[in-house]
């Protein structure tokens, strides 16, 4: 470990005369200082923000309901119908194993769909709202 890393981990300044030196020599804060903060109440009450929330709920609630029904259906089937889940499909692979793997596939699939949905529909609108609120310095 270098002396700079050791001093940063101990919390002491890297150089005895420089009290502002930080880990890696970065002396500037990543936080921007602005004269005033955006009016979050007016943003929340704006038509654009309400439309954005409706659009997000349109995806999130049905996807969540679908996954919960699918997951609970699998658990209930395993609890109450073990003989059907034990039926072999191919060799040692049975219906229960395929449904269990399907849980993982569904999780990855829903995550992928959400990321794509957010990138195409949510993120651009969030950027517009932030720009209107003066959060971006352009």
The answer to the question of residue 38 being in a domain is no
User: What whole-number distance in Å separates Cα of residue 133 and Cα of residue 54?
Assistant: 20
pLDDT for 47 equals: 85
- pLDDT, residue 102, reads 95
pLDDT of residue 7: 47
Q: Is the whole model's pTM more than 0.95, yes or no?
A: no
Is residue 61 domain-resident? yes
117 in a domain, yes or no? yes
| Residue carrying structure tokens 């089937």 | 77
What pLDDT is recorded for position 18? 52
Range of the domain at 51: 44-134
Burial 80-105 (b: 16+ CB within 10 A, else e): eeeeebeeeeeeeebebeeeeeeeee
Give the pLDDT score at 40: 78
Q: Is residue 90 part of a domain?
A: yes
Residue 133 CB contacts under 8 Å (≥ 6 apart), including other chains: 38, 39, 43
**25: in domain:** no
- Mean pLDDT per block of 10 residues along the chain (138 residues) reads 50 52 58 66 84 90 95 95 91 92 95 93 87 65
Domain contains 3: no
Domain membership of residue 21 (yes or no) is no
Q: Is residue 31 part of a domain?
A: no
Structural domain count of the chain: 1
**Neighbour count for residue 40 (Cβ, 10 Å):** 10
CA atoms within 13 A on the CB side of 50: 5
């Amino acid at each position: 470990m270098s002396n700079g890393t050791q001093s940063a981990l101990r919390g002491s300044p890297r150089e005895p005369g420089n009290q502002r030196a930080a880990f890696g020599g970065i002396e500037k804060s990543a936080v921007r200082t602005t004269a005033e903060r955006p009016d979050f109440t007016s943003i929340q009450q704006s038509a654009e923000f309400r439309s954005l929330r409706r659009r997000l709920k349109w995806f999130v609630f049905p996807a969540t309901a679908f996954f919960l029904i699918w997951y609970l259906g699998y658990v209930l089937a395993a609890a109450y119908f073990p003989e059907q889940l034990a039926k072999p499909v191919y060799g040692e692979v049975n219906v229960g194993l395929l449904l269990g793997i399907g849980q993982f596939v569904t999780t990855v699939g829903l995550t992928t769909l959400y990321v794509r949905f957010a990138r195409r529909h949510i993120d651009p609108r969030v950027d517009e709202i932030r720009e209107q609120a003066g959060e971006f310095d352009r």
